[in-house]
């Protein structure tokens, strides 16, 4: 038999195919683990952001409730740099009682 027989060529081609399949499988597993880890990391972060937004909205509502004239001031005045909405929260409202809930 000569060194370039079809049987010898096929044996050399088979390991290359197996190696490429193993490499592709490893890449697929690594990508899956990366996607899973990212999802597990971002899920609690989303809950924290929702909680922060809820607390901020509640603080705005409490500030507005502490000064009922604020809504009327906003409706009746024209927008300007020194208007009621441009004041800092400590300037526009008095102390807000903490909620008991």
Question: 17-39: per-residue pLDDT in tens?
Answer: 888 899 999 999 999 999 999 99
Q: What is the pLDDT of residue 65?
A: 82
Residues of the chain predicted below pLDDT 70: 1-15, 83-101
Cα separation, 44 vs 49, in Å, equals 9
CB 63 within 8 A of CB 99: no
User: pTM here?
Assistant: 0.40
Q: What is the pLDDT of residue 86?
A: 66
78: part of which helix (H) or strand (E)? none
Q: What is the pLDDT of residue 1?
A: 52
Q: What is the pLDDT of residue 12?
A: 52
Q: What is the pLDDT of residue 76?
A: 82
> Which residue's entry shows tokens 């044996």?
11
Going by C-alpha positions, the residue among 94, 38, 30, 33 that lies closest to residue 67 is 94
Q: What is the pLDDT of residue 11?
A: 52
């Amino acid at each position: 038999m000569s060194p370039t027989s079809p049987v010898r060529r096929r044996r050399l081609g088979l390991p290359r195919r197996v190696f490429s399949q193993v490499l592709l499988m490893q890449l697929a597993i690594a990508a899956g683990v990366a996607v899973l880890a990212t999802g597990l990391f971002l899920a609690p972060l989303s809950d924290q952001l929702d909680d922060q937004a809820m607390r901020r909205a509640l603080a705005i509502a409490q500030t507005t409730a502490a000064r009922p004239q604020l809504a009327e001031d906003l409706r009746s005045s024209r927008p300007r740099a020194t208007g009621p909405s441009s004041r800092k929260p400590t300037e526009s409202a008095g102390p807000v009682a903490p909620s008991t809930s």
